[in-house]
């Protein structure tokens, strides 16, 4: 997952930015709007029932609380992701399907703002957080002036099966730190275990157990990166029965232990992006540089 991806929220803040290589992320959602900018390669993005193929240069904006999924269409992809909890009434229509010249020009401004947010977060010069807020405000202005959607996403009526999936994912997001079993969830939903198991695999691409594990891993990164809490305490507070189970799951998904990841993040500020897939940081910087206003950079 991107991973999530899938991996849902990596930082306990209203906004976040990271560069990464997408593998696959099953259907998930979060309150934040998500801006994906493909710098290199190809990815496939599903938003509700629509599927979009994106290649180098393409940008797509996914509104908050809208179910979506991503997967690689080429293994050499590099993607910048900016997530922010804009006003929930900000509903955006922005993607590679647009052809209006004014909107296309405005997408260049969006790319530039995303590049600056990544740069400010990456190098953290004095007052970098204030600079990030400036660019987020510019993005919201672009959304509202040039990319307003005709309908608010909550007005869209989803088929019953998607309402069910949405409810299941929401429940897991709210209770992932608790003991949750497939049998308990099936009983809660009035379904058989066998049916729910097949349903979850069919609609998310993952077994119930793996999806829940990925969600717990993703959520644990907040504490792992931003606090000095012990790894054992982090494991137990995010639904893992033991530090051994946490270490095993983390190693399996990310090819390193939680302790190694914490150390890597402290030593290498780009390490968070690598959790999603290795890429060449120098290549990412090279691809972003043309979009940076050198006069606006605090060097």
48 conformational bin, left if phi > 0, alpha if psi -120 to 50, beta if neither: left
The label of the residue with tokens 């979506």 reads: 68
Q: Digits of tens for pLDDT over the chain (299 positions)?
A: 333 333 333 433 578 898 988 887 777 778 899 999 999 999 999 998 789 999 999 999 999 888 888 988 998 899 999 999 888 788 999 999 999 999 999 999 999 999 999 999 999 999 999 999 999 999 999 999 999 997 654 434 445 556 788 788 889 989 999 999 999 999 999 999 999 999 888 877 778 998 899 889 988 987 888 788 999 999 999 999 999 999 999 988 878 899 988 887 666 554 444 445 556 788 899 999 999 998 888 86
Task: Give Rg (Cα) of the chain.
Answer: 19
How many helices and strands in the chain, by DSSP H and E?
11, 8
Sort 164 into a burial class: Cβ within 10 Å, 0-12 / 13-18 / 19+.
middle
What tokens does 32 get?
A: 């934040």
Helix ranges (H only) for 229-270 are: 231-237, 243-254, 258-267
The residues facing 42 across adjacent strands are 55
Domains annotated on the chain, with CATH: 15-155 (2.60.120.10), 160-268 (1.10.10.60)
Task: Give 252-258 contacts, CB < 8 A, sequence gap 24+.
Answer: 253/3, 253/213, 253/214, 253/217, 254/217, 258/220, 258/224, 258/231, 258/234
CB atoms within 10 A of CB 35: 24
3-class DSSP assignment, residue 210: helix
pTM strictly above 0.95: no
């Amino acid at each position: 997952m991107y991973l999530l991806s899938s991996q849902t929220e990596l930082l306990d803040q209203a906004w976040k930015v990271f560069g990464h290589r997408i593998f696959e992320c099953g259907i998930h959602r979060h309150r934040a709007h998500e801006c994906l900018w493909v710098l290199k390669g190809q990815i496939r993005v599903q938003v509700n029932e629509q599927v979009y193929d994106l290649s180098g240069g393409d940008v797509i904006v996914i509104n908050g609380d809208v179910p979506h999924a991503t997967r690689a269409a080429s293994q050499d992809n590099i993607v910048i992701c900016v997530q922010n909890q804009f006003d929930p009434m900000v509903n955006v229509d922005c993607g590679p399907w647009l052809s209006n010249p004014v909107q296309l020009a405005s997408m260049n401004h969006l790319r530039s703002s995303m590049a600056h947010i990544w740069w400010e977060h990456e190098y953290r010069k004095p007052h970098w957080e204030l600079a990030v807020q400036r660019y987020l405000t510019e993005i919201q202005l672009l959304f509202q002036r040039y990319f307003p959607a005709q309908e608010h996403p909550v007005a869209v009526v989803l088929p019953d099966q998607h309402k069910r999936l949405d409810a299941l994912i929401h429940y897991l997001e709210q209770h992932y730190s608790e003991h949750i079993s497939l049998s308990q969830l099936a009983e809660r939903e009035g379904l058989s275990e066998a049916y729910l198991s097949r349903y979850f695999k069919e609609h998310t691409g993952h077994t119930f157990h793996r999806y829940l594990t990925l969600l717990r891993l993703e959520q644990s990164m907040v504490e792992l990166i931003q606090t000095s809490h012990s790894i054992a305490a982090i494991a137990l507070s995010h639904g893992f029965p033991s530090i051994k189970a946490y270490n095993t799951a983390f190693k399996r998904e990310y090819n390193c232990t939680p302790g190694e990841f914490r150390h890597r993040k402290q030593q290498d500020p780009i390490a968070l992006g690598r959790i999603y897939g290795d890429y060449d940081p120098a290549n990412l910087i090279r691809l972003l540089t043309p979009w940076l206003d050198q006069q606006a950079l605090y060097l």
